[in-house]
Amino acid sequence: MRAWLIGAALAVFPSLAVAQGLPKPVAIDAEVQRVLKDTGAKGLAIAVIDNGKVGYVQAYGVRNPKGEPLTPQTVMYGASLTKAVFAYTVMQQVDQGRLTLDTPLADMLPQPLPSYASPDIINRYSDWSALDERWRKLTPRIVLTHSSGFANFYFLEPDEKLKFHFDPGARYAYSGDGLLTLQFAMEMGLGLSLRDETDRIFKGLGMTRSSLIWRSDFAGNLADGWNDKGEVEVHDERSKVRVAGSMDTTISDFARFAAAFVRGEGLSPAARAEITKRQLKITTRTQFPPFQPELPADQQRADLYAGLGVVVFDGPQGHGFYKGGHNDITANTWVCVEKSKRCVVILSNDVRAEARFAALVKFVLGETGVPYEWEYGDHAGKS
């Protein structure tokens, strides 16, 4: 059966089979099996994009404690890959003239941001009630480069109210609530529905099993997850659209998005360029904790910058970008090299697989320079 599957993959995706420098499907299969064995992870799905086209898609292992197989059509949690989809969505709105990257959120909202303090709004978005006047400096560019000055989420603050830890735009510090603030401004101030906008994108790309909110039709082929102790947790049926991380998707679907994204499909050249432009220097040793001291200039990685919803870098193959996604039972990574339009996407429903992501990406794409030592800190590449 395995030999038949490999033969079919080679027939359907000949570009991958002959592409210089890319491993053949049989080699990818063997390497993923080693990752699963070495980490004890239960499931992993992978997609390879070559020259902006989907070259190979496969899933391995199981999707739940029953032992049912993980397939390319299994719905998995996208986690923070959602942020890259949101950045793409924002840039479509920029192309349509509904906002600019430097439009103050204050100009988008009919009332001051701290005045929106009802329990319903706090539950759906965040708690801005304690913000000082610096909120007026917030722009889409600032929040998409994770330089809002906010904690990752408001409930991580001692009083569960967002506050500024530095002036907006001053430095990078990862914040999901920064993106949720922009979501609120777009929905409340511009009258947009981020669910409708992302559904439109998904439909246009043929992503029939992707959504920023739970859909009942996902239940028939759905991935539960395993934490770092090997304990299973059921898939969360997310009832709110949250652009910081509510997306459900499949490896087949997200491969379509990754290929379209790296080709620049759906965006003007200028809008696409903004996403992977070196927007803001990243100055810390690792991504987390978010408010750690900035390194001296001579110790900072010279090529490491925030793009819009992604992180950009330079390596042996030229300019690249990546985005990760993670929670207690989820580990995702998406890496692309701009010149060759080559990408690898990995979705895992077992967080233990993350320990081998750096090695697996290198196996597929070669040395890219992706900053996993910054993403994962002391755990980068360790099994």
Helix, strand, coil percentages (3-state) for the chain, rounded to 5, are 40, 15, 45
- Predicted confidence band at 5 (pLDDT cuts at 50, 70, 90)? very low
- Predicted confidence band at 351 (pLDDT cuts at 50, 70, 90)? very high
Q: List the one residue out of 321, 244, 308, 245 whose CA is nearest residue 271.
A: 308
- Predicted confidence band at 1 (pLDDT cuts at 50, 70, 90)? very low
pLDDT at 44: 98
pLDDT at 132: 98
Instruction: Tell whether the model's pLDDT for residue 11 goes beyond 80.
Output: no
Q: CB–CB of 317/328 below 8 Å?
A: no
Q: List the one residue out of 323, 325, 326, 288 whose CA is nearest residue 307.
A: 323
The answer to the question of residue 34 being in a domain is yes
Instruction: Tell whether the model's pLDDT for residue 206 goes beyond 50.
Output: yes
pLDDT at 177: 98
pLDDT at 15: 41
The answer to the question of residue 3 being in a domain is no
Q: CB–CB of 256/206 below 8 Å?
A: yes
Q: List the one residue out of 355, 354, 313, 316 whose CA is nearest residue 335.
A: 313
DSSP 242-282: -TTT--EE-HHHHHHHHHHHHHTTTS-HHHHHHHTS--EE-
Q: Mean of the pLDDT values across residues 266-274?
A: 98
The answer to the question of residue 371 being in a domain is yes
The answer to the question of residue 8 being in a domain is no
Q: What is the mean pLDDT of the chain?
A: 94
The answer to the question of residue 359 being in a domain is yes
Q: How many domains does the chain have?
A: 1
- Predicted confidence band at 13 (pLDDT cuts at 50, 70, 90)? very low
Pair type for strands 305-306 and 280-281: antiparallel
pLDDT at 165: 98
Q: CB–CB of 227/331 below 8 Å?
A: no
| Residue pLDDT, tens place only, 136-148 | 999 999 999 999 9
Q: List the one residue out of 8, 6, 11, 44 whose CA is nearest residue 25.
A: 6
Q: Mean of the pLDDT values across residues 195-209?
A: 98
At position 225, the amino acid (one-letter code) is: G
Instruction: Tell whether the model's pLDDT for residue 199 goes beyond 60.
Output: yes
Instruction: Tell whether the model's pLDDT for residue 363 goes beyond 90.
Output: yes
The answer to the question of residue 106 being in a domain is yes
How many other CB atoms are there within 10 angstroms of residue 11's CB atom? 9
State pTM to two decimals: 0.94
Q: List the one residue out of 96, 86, 100 whose CA is nearest residue 179.
A: 86
pLDDT at 377: 85
Whole domain around residue 319: which residue ranges? 25-379
| Residue pLDDT, tens place only, 279-327 | 999 999 999 999 999 999 999 999 999 999 999 999 999 999 999 999 9
The answer to the question of residue 12 being in a domain is no
Instruction: Tell whether the model's pLDDT for residue 118 goes beyond 80.
Output: yes
Domain of 345: which CATH number? Answer: 3.40.710.10
**Distance between start and end Cα atoms, the chain:** 30
Instruction: Tell whether the model's pLDDT for residue 116 goes beyond 80.
Output: yes
The answer to the question of residue 20 being in a domain is no
